[in-house]
Structure 1
Amino acid sequence: MAHTFVLLCSCLWCLDGVFGVETDEIKMVYVMEGDSVTLDTDVSKIQGDDLILWRFGAEDTRVADVNRTAKIISTSKSPEGFRNKLHLDDQTGSLTITNIKTEHSGLYKAQIIGNKVSRKMFNVIVYAPLPIPVITSYCPQNPSSSESSSKCVLVCSVVNVRQVTLSWYKGNSLFSSISVSDLNSSLSLPLEVEYQENNTYSCVINNPIRNQTKHLNITEGCQTCSVYVPSDCVCSCDTTEAVIRLVVSALMGVAAVAAVVVLVYDIRSRKLEQKRRTPKSPSVKQ
């Protein structure tokens, strides 16, 4: 009898337009992967023969049912991905999802069938854990002579992220930002600063519910290579210095080759001179 009642009420789901179902707006729910979330029916207590049916996704897949009179409190027919994750409140019909995963993102519908038919809808968005931003630095390419020793470019990067914003802050002031909504995207945000600044910069990655921050003091994290290179800061040597080193190396190589040539020439000259000065032995006649 109980199963027949559930089947009858399930048919009402398809005919809700005919019976004038009261439909609420879709409520947005944001949750981090691994956390738990409760979808509240706003029912203080299920009355009489009230039935609550929970559906998920575009195909309205049945995931749970609650009916106190018929003693139905069931999640046994939930799809494989929901096994052991769904918990029903037998007083209110609210649905709790534990250890939620990104694949559980989607539209959830609770149809409450009693004296009237109403529906609650929740659009659940599950976010993966946020990575800690990585900050690197380098000297600008081909700077003018006046800037060659004063500029530094900081680059804040994150990989495999979705629906996040990456931002640079100077103190508490927002400097620049970039956003992405695609799956498994990589973001990099550069920022040019002065070597001698005595300021603290922060790179922040955030979504609607969480953020991760990486702080960097310019006097420590953006020095010339010959002074200090922190473990998480990759700094290239000054362009002018590199060119000077290259020229000096080349000149030393040319000088070495020239020295070898002069030495060889000197040795050969001495041998020829010694040959000329050596007298020839007289021939002996028979």
Structure 2
Amino acid sequence: MFCAFISLYLLHLVDGVNIVSVTEGDSVTLHPDDTVRSLPYVQWRFGPEGTIIIIQFNGGGPDITYFNEKRIRDRLQIDNQTGSLTISNTRTTDSGLYELKMKSWVLFSVTVYARLPIPIITRDSSNCSSSSSQNCSLACSVLNVSHVTLSWYKGISVLSSISVPDLNNISLPLEVEYQDKNTYSCVLNNPISNQTQHLDISQFCQTCADHVHCCGFTEAVIRLVISAVVGVATVTIVVYDITSRRAENKRRTSQSVLE
């Protein structure tokens, strides 16, 4: 469930179309099944601009010609022996249908998924206003994601989940008891990768009494410090005032004696 994918991309065949999935930033190679050495040429077509790459196998060696390839040219590599097309540093805009013309057309449907962020768990502390509350209200959230599923797990069992096809912000609530000893985690995943945030109930879910006690103690310390500072300042002013008055009286007495 939480194992990382070892391969950089996934490929499978559906209705004669090679389905390829890759994470943004990784490289992907589209392999023709048949050898190309016996062919006079092979041709790749892809992208909204109609990018075309023609590999001609002449006696002196393969000759590669590119058309309308400016957007992606610096990230392409063609294998002169197999005709394979490699796209490095993939972007979500590279998604689409890639067509290879050999003896017949070979189709690759490529989907580049954005890298997943780590889910963020937050607590709704509004229910702490009631001292009788026995539950801790949480939410797991992610921003600006698409084609993903966000799920809460209790151990290895799914408690709840939500999916979004288009770019959106999503949040999934969860309510647990303060003394719950089970293991919870929030998982964000797409078809080829996932990100997991584990829940530490002791960290996120202090009881209301603990929360109030903590805040009351902190407030008491702050008040004590402020009182001490004010007291010291007051004593300093009083001592300074008394000292100044004594000095003034001594000066006046000295002047009277001299006169």
Normalised to the residue count of structure 1, the TM-score between the two structures is: 0.63
Give the aligned partner of residue 158 of structure 2.
174
1:63 maps to which of 47, 52, 60: 52
Q: Deviations over 1:82-115 (max 9, x none)?
A: 1211111111111111111111111100011xxx
CA distance in structure 2 between the aligned counterparts of 1:73 and 1:167, rounded to whole angstroms: 51
Q: Which runs of 5+ in 1 are unaligned?
A: 1-23, 229-236, 242-286
1:137 aligned to which of 123, 128, 132 = 123
**% of aligned pairs identical?**
50
Read off the aligned partner of 2:112 and give its amino acid letter: V
The residue type paired with residue 64 of structure 1 is I
**Alignment partners' CA distance in 2, 1:26 and 1:173:** 34
2:125 and 2:51 map into 1 onto residues whose CA distance is 58
Matched, 1:35 2:30: no
Confirm whether residue 221 of structure 1 aligns to residue 204 of structure 2: yes
Query: 1:66·1:74 contact (CA, 8 Å) conserved in 2?
Result: yes
> How far apart, CA to CA, are the structure 2 residues paired with 1:226 and 1:148?
9
Cα pair distance change 1:64/1:139, threshold 3 Å:
same
Distance 2:158 2:30 in 1: 35
The gaps in structure 2 that reach 5 residues or longer are: 1-14, 216-259
Q: CA deviation at 1:208?
A: 0.5
The alpha-carbon distance between structure 1 residues 48 and 105, as it changes in their structure 2 partners (threshold 3 A), is: closer
SS of the residue 1:160 aligns to: strand
Would you say 1:46 and 2:37 are equivalent positions?
Answer: yes
Alignment correspondent of 1:111: 101
State the partner residue of 1:270: none
The offset of 1:141, in angstroms, is 4.9
Match of 2:195 among 208, 212, 217: 212
Q: From the CA coordinates, give the structure whose radius of gyration is larger.
A: 1
Query: Counterparts of 2:188 and 2:23 in 1: how far apart (Å)?
Result: 15
Aligned pair partner of 1:165 in 120, 130, 149: 149
| Residues matched between the structures, number | 199
Q: CA RMSD in A?
A: 2.5
Give the CA deviation at 1:187. 0.6
Q: Answer whether contact 2:45 2:51 (CA < 8 A) is retained.
A: yes
Counterpart check, 1:77 vs 2:63: no
Higher strand proportion: 2
Which residue number corresponds to residue 95 of structure 1?
85
1:154-192 deviation digits (Å, cap 9, x = unpaired) = 100000101000000011111100000102x10100011
Deviation at 1:78, TM superposition (A): 4.3
Whether contact under 8 Å (1:204, 1:214) holds in the other structure is: yes
Distance 1:160 1:140 in 2: 26
Please name the residue that 1:124 is paired with.
110
Report if aligned partners of 2:36, 2:42 keep a CA contact under 8 Å in 1: no
- Aligned partners of 1:93 and 1:205: how far apart in 2? 37
The 1:82–1:220 alpha-carbon spacing in structure 2 relative to 1, beyond 3 Å, is: same
**Whole-angstrom CA distance in 2 between matches of 1:221 and 1:179:** 25
CA distance in 1, matches of 2:65, 2:210: 64
Greater shift in the superposed pair: 93-102 or 214-223: 214-223
Local SS of the residue matching 1:156:
strand
Q: Give the residue type in structure 2 aligned to 1:179.
A: S
